[in-house]
Every structure is written in structure tokens, then in C-alpha cells.
């Protein structure tokens, strides 16, 4: 295969080498029989007081940081509604309208301030850590058990790490996929394979996935293009082609799937995805338009080329959507490989306030 370039979007030109490999003699393991490499823990109370306080301080920071986003909006709504209600002196109807309008405006302003400055996250994560410290003292006194994976995560939590990362939404202290791991996975792939990744920095997508599916293993879906490149839909650039190893080394966990294509279907899936290069990101998560979010693009590419491959979809407020987790739980694909490690939802949140391994060891 050879890569040609169309502006900033490389397109892989078909070549004799781009023929789908012969079907596997041995059927690839199905996702439902594959045990994901997820960091798990056990309950134990065999820890000293310092460990209890540090662990629960980290848990408290995670909870406070999460709640801060709602608190900022709520505070804006309350202030705006109160100000609007003051117009009630001009009439009951005007007061009600003012309260509703003020609440909406205040909520929007609160969201904008939080999104721009993250002051609420910084303040509430520190408040949460303080409360967590006190809770840890009580738990140690009562010998209430902790999860060992939470204890392990909190080993790199400190006042310094809390101050350093309290307002940083792009940070995670959990180990990322190494270059060697990424390269080993890429070597196993064929054009048309699906890669699902978990990024512990991605709180909004992890939260949405957790609420929709009850778990948050994966936050992103990618289609392998060939020659080390992949096609993905991302917020900043829309649909693009990028070096897969570079993508993977920015993630914490990844699993590769091979849909049950018949001859020629994998190439068609890649061609479909390539035809969408340059399209905008689908911020409305609404199908049937010319924009795409990550798992929507992968689902469309595979479904259009291989209609016999079924993925689970779900309806939310009348919209049919598909999240990355839905791409994994199918009977019509086999698992090729896995790199990195997944984390529970709480463990992901805790990791946003800890030092990365290298920083902690230095």
C-alpha cells in the first residue's frame, strides 16, 4: 500500500498488497469471553492511619472536582434567578419571567466561567480533600476497609499534586501506553480493524459512558487505515488521518477488534472513512448529517460495508447513538489484542490529582 496526500489528510491508495488476509483458521476470541485488563482491587483494612487519610483525601478531591462542574452552574442559576425575581415589584408575571430568564442566563454564565477558569474545580477539589482527610481518620478508627487499587493510586497523591493539577482538566497521573506496546499492537492490525481506547483524562466522555452503559472502559473509537495510520473523529480537527502509534501513546488503555468481514468489505470500510476526511465533528451527536463523532464514524464505516456486522445502539431523548463501549460488546467481531490497563470510574477521577510515575519517583 502507498500513502498519497490530499491537503492535510493522507489517503491510502489501493494496491495489490491491500487485499484482506485470508480468514483466520482459528476463530478470534469474542469480546464477551475476553477479560479486559482492568486494575482491580480488594477490600482491606490492613493500612495505617496515614494511608487512610491520604487515600480518602484523594477520593475527596476526585468527588469535589466532579461536583464542581454542577456547583458552578447551580450557583449561577441561583444568583441569576434571584436577580430576575427582583423584577417582581413590576408585576407577578414579570417576576416569574425574570426569575426563569435570570436562572438560564446565570447557569450559562456559571458554565462559561467554570469552563474558562476552572476555579470551582480548584476550590472544591481542595475542600473535598479536606473532608476526605477527616473521613479517613474516622474510617481508620472504625477499621472500615479500603479498596487496594484506590490505595495504590493515592500513593502518588499529595498537597503538592493537588495544588499542581487541581484546575488541570487535561492531566492524569495513570501510566499511558508505551511506544513499545503501541508498536506491538499496530503490527497485528489489518485495514478495517477497530481500535477502542480509554483515556483517563476524558472526564466528560467517561461520565456520559458510565451513565449510559454502567461502565466506562472506552472513551474513543478509531478505524485502522493501514500503513500505521488510523482515521478518527476528534473535537479539535473533525475527521482526520493520524499515525496510530502517536494516538495510542496518548491513551491509557486500548483494545483492537476485527469485525467479521467477508472478502472486500474491510477495504470498503476504509474507503468509506477516507471519504469523510475533513468533515466536522458532530457536537450535537445527531445521526444523518454530514458530521461525525468518533464511534458514530466507526459504526457507519463498518455497517455500510459489512451489514452483517451488528453493533448495539441506544436511544437517548429520541436520538439513536452509539458509544465506544457499544462497539466492543458485539458477537460479530474478534479481539486481536490489548495494551495498557483500564481503570474504574472513581479510579480515573482520582488519577487526575496524582503525580505521574516518573514525577513521583524523581
∠ CA(168), CA(169), CA(175), 5° rounding? 90
Asked whether residue 3 carries a pLDDT value surpassing 90, the answer given is: no
Question: Residue 344 phi/psi, 5° resolution?
Answer: -65, 165
Predicted confidence (pLDDT) per residue in 161-189, tens digit:
999 998 888 899 999 999 999 999 999 99
Total residues found in the chain within this entry = 362
What local confidence, expressed as pLDDT, does residue 201 receive?
A: 82
| Domain locations in the chain as residue ranges | 43-165, 175-342
pLDDT at position 78 over 60:
no
State the average pLDDT over residues 81-110.
Answer: 50
Q: Cβ–Cβ contacts within 10 Å for residue 23, how many?
A: 10
Per-residue pLDDT at 101: 56
Average pLDDT over residues 34-59: 95
Helices (H), 118-194: 119-142, 148-154, 159-165, 179-186
User: What is the model's pLDDT at position 6?
Assistant: 46
Mean pLDDT, rounded, for 297-313: 92
Sequence-ordered list of residues with C-beta below 8 angstroms from that of 26, at least 6 positions apart, any chain = none
Q: What is the pLDDT of residues 113-156, one digit of tens each?
A: 545 556 677 888 999 999 999 999 999 999 999 999 999 999 99
Q: Which fold has domain 175-342?
A: endopeptidase fold (from Nostoc punctiforme) (3.90.1720)
Q: What pLDDT score does 86 carry?
A: 52
Residues 6+ apart with CB under 8 A from 10: 3, 4, 229, 241
Cα separation, 201 vs 174, whole angstroms? 9
- Which of the four pLDDT bands, split at 50, 70 and 90, describes residue 53? very high
pLDDT reported for residue 222: 97
The helix or strand, by DSSP H or E, that contains position 267, with its residue range, turns out to be helix 265-275
Task: Check whether 87 has a pLDDT greater than 50.
Answer: no
How far is the C-alpha of 260 from the C-alpha of 122, rounded, in Å? 47
CB 337 within 8 A of CB 248: no
User: Taking every pair of C-alpha atoms in the chain, what is the biggest distance, in angstroms?
Assistant: 80
| pLDDT given for residue 44 in this prediction | 97
Residue with cell 473535598: 128
Predicted model pTM: 0.79
Neighbours of 213 (CB within 10 A): 18
Mean local confidence (pLDDT), 301-325 = 85
Residue 115 and residue 109: Cα distance in Å, rounded? 10
- Cell 475527596 locates to 60
Task: Collapse the DSSP code of 58 into the 3-class scheme (helix H, G, I; strand E, B; otherwise coil) and give the result.
Answer: helix
Contact 297, 321 (CB under 8 A): no
Kind and range of the H or E element at 69? helix 49-85
pLDDT classification of 105: cutoffs 50, 70, 90: low
Q: Under 8 Å CB-to-CB from 166, ≥6 apart: which residues? A: 61, 65, 121, 122, 125, 126, 353
291 CB-side CA count, 13 A? 12
Amino acid at each position: 500500500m502507498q500513502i498519497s496526500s490530499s491537503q492535510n489528510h493522507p489517503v491510502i491508495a489501493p494496491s495489490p498488497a491491500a487485499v484482506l488476509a485470508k480468514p483466520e483458521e482459528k476463530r478470534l476470541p469474542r469480546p464477551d469471553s475476553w477479560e479486559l485488563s482492568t486494575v482491580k482491587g480488594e477490600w482491606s483494612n490492613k493500612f495505617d492511619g496515614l494511608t487512610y487519610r491520604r487515600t480518602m483525601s484523594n477520593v475527596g478531591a476526585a468527588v469535589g472536582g466532579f461536583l464542581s462542574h454542577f456547583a458552578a452552574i447551580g450557583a449561577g442559576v441561583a444568583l441569576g434567578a434571584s436577580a430576575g425575581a427582583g423584577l417582581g415589584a413590576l408585576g407577578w408575571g414579570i417576576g416569574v419571567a425574570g426569575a426563569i430568564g435570570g436562572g438560564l442566563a446565570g447557569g450559562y454564565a456559571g458554565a462559561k466561567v467554570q469552563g474558562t477558569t476552572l476555579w470551582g474545580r480548584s476550590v472544591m477539589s481542595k475542600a473535598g480533600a479536606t473532608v476526605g482527610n477527616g473521613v479517613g481518620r474516622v474510617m481508620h478508627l472504625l477499621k472500615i476497609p479500603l479498596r487496594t487499587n484506590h490505595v495504590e493510586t493515592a500513593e502518588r497523591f499529595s498537597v503538592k499534586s493537588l495544588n499542581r493539577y487541581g484546575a488541570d482538566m487535561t492531566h492524569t497521573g495513570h501510566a499511558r501506553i508505551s511506544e513499545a506496546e503501541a508498536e506491538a499492537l499496530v503490527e497485528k492490525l489489518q485495514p478495517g480493524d477497530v481500535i477502542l481506547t480509554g483515556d483517563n483524562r476524558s472526564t466528560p466522555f467517561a461520565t456520559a459512558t458510565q451513565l449510559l452503559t454502567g461502565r466506562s472502559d472506552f472513551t474513543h473509537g478509531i478505524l485502522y487505515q493501514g500503513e500505521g495510520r488510523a482515521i478518527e473523529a476528534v473535537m479539535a480537527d473533525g475527521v482526520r488521518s493520524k499515525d496510530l502509534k502517536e494516538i495510542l501513546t496518548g491513551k491509557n488503555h486500548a483494545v483492537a477488534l476485527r469485525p467479521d468481514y467477508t472478502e472486500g468489505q474491510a477495504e470498503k470500510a476504509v474507503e468509506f472513512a477516507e471519504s469523510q476526511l475533513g468533515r466536522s465533528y458532530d457536537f450535537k451527536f445527531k445521526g444523518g448529517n454530514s458530521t461525525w463523532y468518533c464511534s458514530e464514524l466507526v459504526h457507519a464505516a463498518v455497517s455500510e460495508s459489512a451489514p452483517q456486522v451488528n453493533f448495539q445502539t441506544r436511544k437517548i431523548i429520541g436520538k439513536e447513538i452509539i458509544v465506544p463501549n457499544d462497539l466492543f460488546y458485539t458477537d460479530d467481531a474478534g479481539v486481536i489484542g490489548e495494551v495498557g490497563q483500564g481503570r474504574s470510574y472513581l479510579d480515573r477521577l482520582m488519577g487526575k490529582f496524582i503525580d505521574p510515575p516518573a514525577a513521583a519517583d524523581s
